[in-house]
Structure 1
Amino acid sequence: MPASDVTLTVNAPGFRPEALPVQASGSEATALQVPLRSGAQLRGVVRAGAHRESLTDARVTLVDAAGNVVGITTTGPDGDYAFADLDAGSYSVIAAGYPPVAKKVTVDGRGLEEVPLELGHPDN
């Protein structure tokens, strides 16, 4: 590598990424130690109803103090959710079931009308 100024980036699962300015000196090898900070983790369980049953497939959104969406996840079979590799700070956790679905129908009064409805989360 020719002598130049470069930026070294290091990342690992469970740790915050780090970027360092480095001056490459040409043909000499240089050893660097880059301390990595572990990222914060946040987890919980979404429950619903009078019996506090775990809610599967709920949408959980994590928003930082500036109002930016940090992450979106869906609860697992036990109603559990998790976010990892977070910076220290204040967040809002928002849980919601399925978005409402509406379908316009017309009935003619001559018997049974079937109206199938499908609930789900929009992709994103």
Structure 2
Amino acid sequence: MTHDLVLSGTAGLGGSVHDRSGAPVAEATVVVTDPRGEVVAAAVTGSDGDYAMPGLFPGPFTVTASALGYLPAAVPAEFGGAANPRCDLLLTPAATIVGTIRHDRTDRPVPDARITLLTDDGVTIAAATTDEDGTYALTDLTPGAYLMRVAGYPPVSTRITLNGNGSPVLDLQLGHSD
């Protein structure tokens, strides 16, 4: 009995990872997953933001990039067997809010105050509790407009807009009104 087999060739994948300003993102992890979600290849970008993955089989995939200080990005991709496709990814900087919560009368730090970042619909985006020195950090935030609420002594709320540029410092005073 004779069986004919058709073997498809392998292709490599290459590309680059940049931020919104066009600067390369070094040490970004790029992962290729198949339709079942299984990882089929991974690479880390160089100082120029470029990566290369040889030996991928043809088919549909998802290419994901992530890096410290950035929100992850994913794009669908279809690889053929003949050419080495290129897949460039663009990462958005993740926003961070840091600050100190202090009592309004004594200016002393408030430990264990609960900070909550909310959408206009009341959905919690991030939460933190202040340290012994009254400091807090909310990290890996998507740019947007939010309501920040601090619970304790009595609660305080303020509006904040994150545009992905820099990390705002938001210090608040807690205390009772006279």
Who is 2:109 aligned against? 54
> 1: CA distance between counterparts of 2:126 and 2:141?
10
CA distance in 1, matches of 2:132, 2:84: 51
Cα pair 1:63 1:93 within 8 Å, conserved: yes
Q: Percent identity?
A: 32
Deviations 1:18-40 (A, max 9, x none): 01111122486545332211112
Who wins on radius of gyration, i.e. which is larger?
1
- In the alignment, residue 48 of structure 1 is paired with which amino acid? H
* Selected match of 2:132 from 71, 77, 86: 77
Q: Paired residue for 1:67, among 122, 132, 137?
A: 122
More strand by share: 2
Tell me which residue corresponds to 1:118: none
1:81 and 1:27, CA in 2 relative to 1: closer, same or farther beyond 3 A? farther
State the aligned residue count: 98
Matched to 2:127, the amino acid is: I
Query: d(CA) in 1 for partners of 2:121 and 2:74?
Result: 23
**Unaligned segments of structure 2, at least 5 residues:** 1-55, 154-178
- How far apart in 2 are the matches of 1:56 and 1:29? 55
Q: Which residue of 1 is the match for residue 147 of structure 2?
A: 92
CA distance in 1 between counterparts of 2:113 and 2:61 reads: 44
Amino acid paired to 2:134: G
Q: Of the candidates 18, 21, 32, which is equivalent to residue 76 of structure 2?
A: 21
CA distance in 2 between partners of 1:81 and 1:97 (Å):
14
The TM-score with structure 2 as length reference comes to: 0.49
CA RMSD in angstroms comes to 2.1
Aligned to 2:66: 11
What is the rounded CA distance, in whole Å, between the counterparts of 1:71 and 1:54 in structure 2?
Answer: 21
2 CA distance for matches of 1:96 and 1:42?
17
Measure the CA separation in 2 of the matches of 1:49 and 1:88: 29
In structure 1, how many angstroms separate the alpha carbons of the residues matched to 2:100 and 2:60? 47
1:32 matched residue in structure 2 = 87
- Structure 1: which 5+ runs fail to align? 99-124
How much has 1:55 moved relative to structure 2? 0.5
